[in-house]
Amino acid sequence: MPANTKYLTQSPWIKFGRLSAAILGSLIAAVAFHLALAAWLDPAIVFGTSIFTIFILWTGLMLVTYWLRKVWQVWSLLLLLIGVSSLMIYLN
């Protein structure tokens, strides 16, 4: 049974914004979080486990991007995570 078309978005900009947030923004946020952890903790331990945990965090953030209703909320959440991680790296 196909999806009801009244619930699907027609704007290509909204589709592009959500898809770019899911792929690129989530990956940058996951990597920035792990770099912040490496700055505060032992880098050898963080980099050793980051191969697995970046993928898990990236997948979770991708799900969050489609869970939120508006694209600007998604990008603001991702930019907040990136900003906090960057601030943690800077303060160390």
At 32 the pLDDT is: 96
Per-domain residue ranges of the chain: 17-91
Structural tokens at position 34: 């792990």
At 28 the pLDDT is: 97
pTM for the full model?
A: 0.86
Q: How far is CA 53 from CA 1, 41, 72, 73, in A?
A: 36, 15, 26, 24
At 11 the pLDDT is: 85
Task: Return d(Cα 44, Cα 77) in angstroms, integer.
Answer: 29
Average predicted confidence (pLDDT) for the chain: 92
At 30 the pLDDT is: 96
Task: Count the Cβ atoms, other than its own, within 10 Å of residue 21.
Answer: 25
Digitized pLDDT (tens) for each residue of the chain, 92 residues in all: 677 877 777 788 988 999 999 999 999 999 999 999 999 998 998 988 998 999 999 999 999 999 998 999 999 999 999 999 999 999 98
